[in-house]
């Protein structure tokens, strides 16, 4: 049994549904976009906290 089949079974999905939603090019690009947004928010938060602490 392949890894994707095991993961699909654990989540109650058929293998085709798993591949459609989790292994498509669109899903990979969405994940990259989400990661970039989170990275941006973390960087902005660190800069804002540093600025706030320096002003104390």
C-alpha dihedral (12, 19, 26, 11), degrees to nearest 10: 20
pLDDT for res 40? 97
The model scores a pTM over 0.75: no
pLDDT for res 30? 73
pLDDT along the chain (56 residues), means of 10: 59 62 67 88 97 92
């Amino acid at each position: 049994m392949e890894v994707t089949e095991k993961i699909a079974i654990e989540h109650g999905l058929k293998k085709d549904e798993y591949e459609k939603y989790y292994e498509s090019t669109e899903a990979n690009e969405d994940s990259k976009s989400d990661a970039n947004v989170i990275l941006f928010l973390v960087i902005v938060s660190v800069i804002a906290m540093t600025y706030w602490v320096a002003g104390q």
